[in-house]
Structure 1
Amino acid sequence: MKKIIFFGFLLSVLCGYSQNQKKSIQAQVTTHDISIDGKLDEAAWKNVPLATDFIMLEPDNGKAIPYEKRTEVKVVYNNDAIYIGAMMYDNEPSKILKEISQRDNFGTADLFGVFINGFNDGQQDFMFYVSAADVQGDCIMTDANGEDYSWDAVWISKASLAENGWIVEMKIPYSALRFSAENKQTWGINFFREIKRERFKYTWNFVDRKIGTFTQQAGTLEGIENIKPPTRLFFMPYASYYLNASDGQKTYGTIKGGMDIKYGITDAFTIDAILIPDFGQTKYDDQILNLGPFEQQFNENRAFFTEGTDLFSKGNIFYSRRIGGVPSIDPVLNENEEIAELPAAVNLVNALKLSGRTKDGLGIGILNAVTEKTFATIKNTENGETRQVIVEPLTNYNVLVLDQRFRKNSSVTFINTNVTRNGHFRDANVTGLAWDLNTKANTYSLFGNVKYSTINDIEDKNGIFSTVSLAETSGNYRYSVGTDFVSKNFDPNDLGINFYTNYYNIYGNANYRILNPTKRFNSFRIDYEMYSEFNKESGKVQDNKIAAELNLTTVRNNYYGIGFTASPLESHDYYEPRAVNRYVIIPQKIDFWGSISTNYNYKFALDLNPSLSIADERGRAAYGVDIGPRYRFSDKLLLTYTFSFLKRNNNKGFIDSFDDDDNDNTAEIIVFANRDVITYANTISGKYAINSAMTLNLAVRQYWSSAENKDILKLGFDGTLDPYLQYTENKNSSFYSWNADLSYSWWFAPGSQLSALYRNNASNFERIIHKDFKHNVTSLLTNDALKHIFSISVKYFIDYSAVKNKLRKRA
């Protein structure tokens, strides 16, 4: 019996030892032609070493894949590309899920992936996925920022079903990767498989979830030697046609054309340039009724500013929507003048970015963009004369990032953003130093940054922002503590976005999670958080909260979440009054939320998210719900509907301010309203996939929000609100909008796309609130504000080296 125990212990030690050792696979050079057809029947695949013995990532971390679902991967290469061949065995091939979806959106389908780090430094993976429905996906992965699917590479793949599973064949050109110029390459590599019907995820090299890192737990790829990659020069010319129509206005068509260029200076560095930009087919922004003191922040939807920009996110001081955004200068009006025409956005003239990393781990990122001089038209209401005024001069935007990685899991980063406006206009500069330091075993991390802003304007000002946090990043129990300090004049908003200044805070988080499933749960996590924020000058509490939440996934892969956030102290809001050194007192409150998301593997699934907020003030509360049923009719057709409702009773908010002429000190009167705010939103999204390269997509959003003022209040200098009967102006708000997109996308060749889009949209703001829901919808769809746009765009990918080789063969 003792021998059995001893050998059992020895076996467990050896198993644990083998799992934690990095696996290695040998790539084999080939001179044979390989057709990417998902068959693996070429001579190049014969007698190639196998990567096998996959280990579960989720949910039962560390468990070996069953033999009947084994996965076998081969790697070969030549001077053009690296080739991956994978066989995913399945003893129930009829149950393989294979929903067809758009690129980078795998839907409900089995998945295979390869993760490549050409420097083997554990810092950044280039991830390439293929689903069982033959859909591609790719992203850049870092432990700090997660997966960035805005990055798109040009590569070739094919998935096919087999009698005993399914097969993937991939050709990844060296142009899609970054690696050193060494004659003998050693890359970090891992392979991934997800069996969707079970929600089981596996990796070739064991990824231990007790360790707070993913990219540093890859295996190695050896054997790539003496490759001579071709010149990495790519041209992407495009042409677009737009047909615009509005009720009561003349229909007109516009033809646009331009080109994007990518050039690999070295195997590690690439220049991207955009000439004559065209962003006409980007996704619309989900505008809202914004009653708060800050601008609405929008996601970036323009490909140039989303692809491969992980370096530029360091330090969190770059907000790309500033480039080509709304004009920065408000026109000054004389008496009897009004704005006749004000551009909604500034046109981008051109943009360029350089990015890459040396073999020693130094990442360099440079982004530069120029926007054109922009004018508003001012009209004299008495004589009808017009004049032009500058609302944005010719402007240059620049970002510089130097990111030094070391010890495979840490980095120190220098960041600088600069905005220079031509002439006597505001200029801005922000410089930052960021660090992300981790222990060798990835058990603890020290994260932080210091940023310094300089504004050159009518009145120059400088400001500072600093943050530091310490966290335990491994095991079942984890925690973090941190603090921020922000001076009053810190202002990165010319090329960044920041709302809150003039405060310091302290915060902490503790959480517990299971790393392996139980009889009831696949995942289970509890978080507890505390946060306190103080105004730097007065010392008053600006914000405070105690929060706890529970998130879990059952063994049937249904997700449930519940949580609360309590603010046990009164806080002082220095931003809502829109005046220097004024604040309004916010009472204690408690918020509750819940979340349910049923298993998307089923044809019908439901997302449900209720919320409730109760303040320590009579009648001041909010409640809402998001309901999102979805139905997958087939592997080709999916429809999703979401209804959102939120009502805020007795909400207190700013509506106006003016000087008190009756007061000798000309003190400013700040007017608030006690109001009820109601918001409705209906969204419908649909997808019909003709095949893995061709899809029809529908996106419809109807939105209506109103704020009805019940009582007018005056803000006191002590932050309290008192009745103010003298104010009689109507400051009710009602905003409603409609957006509908119907699009067709066809990837007719690698990197080449034809897209057609029909869009109609309208929005309206009123002071009169029509509570008839039907009226608000139909008035948008029938008035002159409704715009119709039809556009068709063709983008073609040209590989200079491929064209040169074809011409050489013909000669």
Structure 2
Amino acid sequence: MSKFLKLSLLLFLFAGVNSFAQKKILVAKTTAEKIVIDGKFNEAVWKDAPLAGDFVMFQPDNGKPIDSSKNTEVRILYDNDAVYIAAVMHDNDPSKIRKEITQRDNVGTADIFGVFINGFNDGQQDFQFFVTAAGVQLDRLATEDGDVSPDNFSQDFSWDAIWDSKVVITDFGWTVEMKIPYAALRFSKENVQTWGLNFYRSIRRDRQHYTWSPIDSEIRSTRNQNGVLEGIENIKTSTRLFFIPYSSYYYENNESGSANKFKAGMDIKYGINDSFTLDAILVPDFGQTRFDNVILNLSPFEQQFSENRPFFTEGTDLFNKGALLYSRRIGGAPRFTPENYDQANETITNTPATVNLLNAVKISGRTKKGLGIGVLNAVTERTYATIQNNTTGEKREGIVEPLTNYNVLVLDQRFNQNSSVTLVNTNTFREGSYRDANVAGLLFDLNTKENSYNLSGDFKYSSITSDGNYDGFKTSLNFEKTSGKYRYTLFGKYLSADYDINDLGIGFQTDYHNIYADFSYRILNPNKIFNTFRTDVKSSLELENTTGKVQDNFANFSAEGNTRKNDYYKFLVQINPLESFDFYQPRVAGRYSYVPRSLTSLFVFSSNYNNTLAIDFNPSAKLYDEKGRKDYGFFFSPRYRINDKILLIYGFNYFRSMNDRGFVAYDGAGIYYAERDIKTITNELSGKFALNNKMTINLTARYYWSFSDNHEFFALQDDGYLSATGFTGAPDENFNVWNFDLSYSWWFAPASQISVLYRNNALDYRNDIRRNIGDNLKNLFDNSLNNIFSVSFRYYIDYNSAKKWF
């Protein structure tokens, strides 16, 4: 081989190795000219702004340069108010640009442009802003690694910033112009700013994702592979103070009568400085939040619900550290029995479903040295239930939730652009002699310089102050290989019996230790069959601390991938090879019940959502090493996109459990189980009609029916096994729930909204099983249908604009 060929080969290899390693740099240009956000870039200053181009594919063919026919060019300007982005997306066939209109933060089937900004350039949190080709805005706080596309909903899309954008479809492709105010970002006080920066483009019809600064998919960590933005200097930011007053009207009608209700309140956002923000809600109103998917809960644990209230979902990345905050505790259902309640002679006739939230405040931000600080405080009011004497009929009130103060403090120190140490503290103070609680956690997340290996873990300590004071702790350690085609995880944890985080967090199981391992393989570039593909082998063993008995165990194998046609497949088979024992099903401390060995299989298919008609199908089955006992079911969901404005999705979920065995009663002397058949059917329908990218009509309906049919009873023995019994005192259960929401939403100005909602809902629980769906619906709608009509108005006021009014 000639010296020239050797040198050429060496340079080629060196270029290939460093195509990911070398971060790109873009210099922003300052402007004194007013920038009009119209997607046309008519201002002369745009022509002199440095150009960011040469995008590289992130998925599916990682590292492949973008085709010249789809060249993408981006420029950045700035002034004392905001940064401005101009992006030109060339397309060799503009007629094929996907542009489905959706609600904000919903990707739909559309091409996308995005910008990722990290004001501290610490590689650990991006403020990400996306615009679809239909002009729909999406934004999120990205703190998790993996897929950078907005299809990755593991990131925090609940965060909503206030910014401006405009899209224009052209004869050569499409353009985006964006204005991102400094109020939507967090950065240091330095006169000379250096930010982490990346640009993103998705070409939906090809399911291809590109970034300006290349991201190596061999490395799990993506945020510290961003490029760098320089040139922003000596900015004089304005006061960050925003008021969002609201007013709401509710009309409610049910079998008890009708009622009108008016509410008014305000959200306040104040920028303490460029790094820290205070959020407060005064007289909150959550009447139009999404309904909860209530189920027939036969488990020993409470049902966990998603958080739908904006204050507790927006920008809460710091407060979610350590998983010690379950915000539904704040303003949730009352949890105490009234004092001096005589169960034999009294009846609780009326208990509020939730506790009123009086106010809530949160402060969060990060210093220039990487210290994140988060403080959250909320107060809920004293809540009473009505108690009636069974003999005299006399009524009195009893406290079911005292006046309560909730607090969360988080200190999160980042370093080395990929590691952190965190201290979390949550506490709950209740008036009077009711229990108080305090939980503290120390977390660490350490990565090697090359982001190839990760070591993480925690130590958490809980202290409950009540009549029976007790303390507990939990600790865990996790080691992972996080790069390359082959990766693995080794994990272990220990929880003491008295570890309790349930005053402000949520935790179901304690008093056990666990070891877990997994090994995975993935392709990093497409092959003849798959765009993406990975296999996983996982194994876990849990042992109860006191007895040493197996509490849970499994080993499974799974394979999943997207085909070249962008259809998704997944297959999983799992074996639970050891007999185990359930320490929670008996509902009595120190008791446990036998769980047989089992075999589970699962299949998932999801066709390409680019198609007008797409289908999700998910059958599953579980066989137990116990005569006649098995579970099976399936989920089926077609979605039909009529056009870019109208989308319909139907979901049908069917589940059967044959000869299940579970707790039904405890009479103080014995614990009784039933052998039962369980059947659950869920029908869901959602529809969207987008009048434009600011105005949508949405429909959500859900009908849930489940019953438990007891056909044989057993007594639980001390060894965890069941024996025959003459007990027959546990009735069957039949449960129906109906929810229907029809809403109109108009974002008539930034962060300003008018919404109209019609909601009806019903719930029917009885102990006689109705196997005919018509009978169930009749009982449901005849006895408990509740109708609500509401109108809500919210208006965003920027202090800097408002002061000009005067």
Q: 1:421 and 2:430 equivalent?
A: yes
Query: Structure 2: how far apart are the matches of 1:57 and 1:536?
Result: 46
Q: Does residue 1:282 correspond to 2:281, yes or no?
A: no
Structure-1 residue corresponding to 2:191: 183
- Which residue number corresponds to residue 229 of structure 2? 221
Deviation at 1:805, TM superposition (A): 4.2
TM-score by length of 2: 0.98
Among 472, 475, 479, which residue is 2:481 paired with?
472
Indicate which of 295, 298, 311 corresponds to 1:304: 311
Cα distance change on mapping 1:61 and 1:350 into 2, 3 Å: same
Give the CA deviation at 1:790: 0.6
**In the TM superposition, what are the counterparts of 1:67-466 in structure 2 within 5 Å?**
67-143=68-144, 146-246=154-254, 248-331=255-338, 332-466=341-475
Kept in 1, the 8 Å contact 2:561–2:569? The answer is yes
Report how far residue 386 of structure 1 moved: 0.3
Q: Which residue of 2 is the match for residue 34 of structure 1?
A: 35
CA distance in 1, matches of 2:790, 2:208: 42
Which whole-Å deviations, capped at 9, do the CAs of 1:787-806 have from their partners, x for residues lacking one?
A: 00011101111110122245
Residue 5 of structure 1: CA displacement?
A: 5.5
- Corresponding residue of 1:793: 792
SS of the residue aligned with 1:152?
A: coil
| Contact 1:100–1:636, Cα closer than 8 Å, also in 2 | yes
2:536 corresponding residue in structure 1: 527
Per-residue deviation at 1:729?
1.8
Deviation of 1:780 (Å): 1.4
AA matched with 2:758: Y
Contact kept? 2:145, 2:222, Cα under 8 Å: no
Determine the C-alpha separation between the residues in 2 that align with 1:597 and 1:575. Answer: 36
1:258-296 C-alpha deviation (Å, 9 max, x unpaired): 000000001000000000010000000000000000000
Q: Could you tell me how far apart the structure 2 residues matched to 1:335 and 1:643 are?
A: 44
In structure 1, the gaps of 5 or more residues are 660-667
Aligned residue type for 1:803: A
The 5-angstrom pairing of residues 706-745 of structure 1 reads 706-725=707-726, 727-745=727-745
8 Å Cα contact 2:251/2:789 also seen in 1: yes
What's the CA shift for 1:335?
A: 3.4
CA shift in 2, pair 1:735/1:802, >3 Å: same
Give 1:19 deviation, angstroms: 3.7
SS in 2 for 1:311: coil
Q: Is the 8 A contact 2:570 2:603 kept in 1?
A: yes
Task: Give the unaligned 5+ runs of structure 2.
Answer: 147-153
The answer to whether the 8 A contact 1:34-1:44 is kept is no
Which residue in the other structure is 2:642 paired with?
Answer: 633
CA drift of 1:38 comes to 1.2
Aligned position for 2:49: 48
Q: What is the TM-score normalised by the length of structure 1?
A: 0.97
Aligned match of 1:571 in 569, 575, 580?
A: 580
RMSD: 1.1
Deviation at 1:8, TM superposition (A): 3.8
What is the CA-CA distance between 1:6 and the residue it aligns to? 4.0
Q: Using the TM superposition, give the Cα deviation of residue 49 of structure 1 relative to its aligned residue in structure 2, in angstroms.
A: 0.7
Deviation at 1:463, TM superposition (A): 0.3
SS in 2 for 1:157: strand
Deviation at 1:699, TM superposition (A): 0.3
Residues 709-755 of structure 1, C-alpha deviation per residue, up to 9 Å, x if partnerless? 01011111111111112x12242111110000001111000111111
**Contact 2:214-2:225 within 8 A present in 1 as well:** yes
Instruction: Report 1:703-782 matches (<5 A).
Output: 703-725=704-726, 727-782=727-782
| Alpha-carbon distance between aligned partners in 1 of 2:547 and 2:16, rounded to the nearest angstrom | 60
Show CA shifts across 1:279-322 (max 9, x none).
Answer: 00000000000000000000000000000000011111110000
Give the Cα separation in 1 of the matches to 2:20 and 2:478: 32
Q: Which whole-Å deviations, capped at 9, do the CAs of 1:25-63 have from their partners, x for residues lacking one?
A: 110100111111111112231211110000000000000
Q: Which amino acid aligns with 2:769?
A: I
1:46 alignment partner, SS class: helix
> Which residue of structure 1 aligns with residue 150 of structure 2?
none
Task: Say whether the 8 Å CA contact 2:665–2:730 is kept in structure 1.
Answer: no
User: In the alignment, which residue of structure 1 is the partner of 2:64?
Assistant: 63
User: Which residue of the partner structure matches residue 560 of structure 1?
Assistant: 569
Q: Kindly provide the amino acid, as one letter, of the partner of residue 373 in structure 1.
A: R
> Residues 334, 647 of structure 1: CA spacing in aligned structure 2 closer, same or farther, 3 A cutoff?
closer
Matched AA of 1:676: D
- Maintained 8 Å contact 1:33/1:44: no
- Local SS of the residue matching 2:781: helix
How many pairs are equivalent? Answer: 796
Counterpart code for 2:763 = S
User: 1:470, 1:481 within 8 Å by CA — same for their partners in 2?
Assistant: yes
CA displacement at 1:773 relative to structure 2: 1.1
Distance 1:228 1:390 in 2: 53
* One-letter identity of the residue aligned with 1:468: L
SS of residue paired to 2:48: coil
What are the superposed Cα offsets for residues 412-441 of structure 1, whole Å, 9 maximum, x if unpaired?
Answer: 000000000011111000011001111111
CA contact (8 A) 1:272 1:354 kept: yes
Matched, 1:551 2:560: yes
- 1:765, 1:632 → 2: CA distance? 36
Shift of 1:350: 0.2
Q: Residue 722 and residue 335 in structure 1: after superposition, are their counterparts in 2 closer, same or farther (change >3 A)?
A: closer
C-alpha contact 1:354 1:367 (8 A) present in aligned 2: yes
Check conservation: 1:26, 1:49, Cα contact below 8 A. Answer: yes
Contact 1:730 1:767 in 2 (8 A): no
**Partners of 2:327 and 2:591 in 1: how far apart?**
32
1:396 match: secondary structure:
strand
- The yes-or-no answer on 1:590 pairing with 2:599 is yes
Counterpart for residue 651 of structure 2: 642
Question: Which residue does the alignment assign to 1:664?
Answer: none
Counterpart of 1:745 in 2: which secondary structure? strand
Amino acid at match of 2:802: V
Q: What's the counterpart of residue 662 of structure 1?
A: none
1:647, 1:633 → 2: CA distance?
34
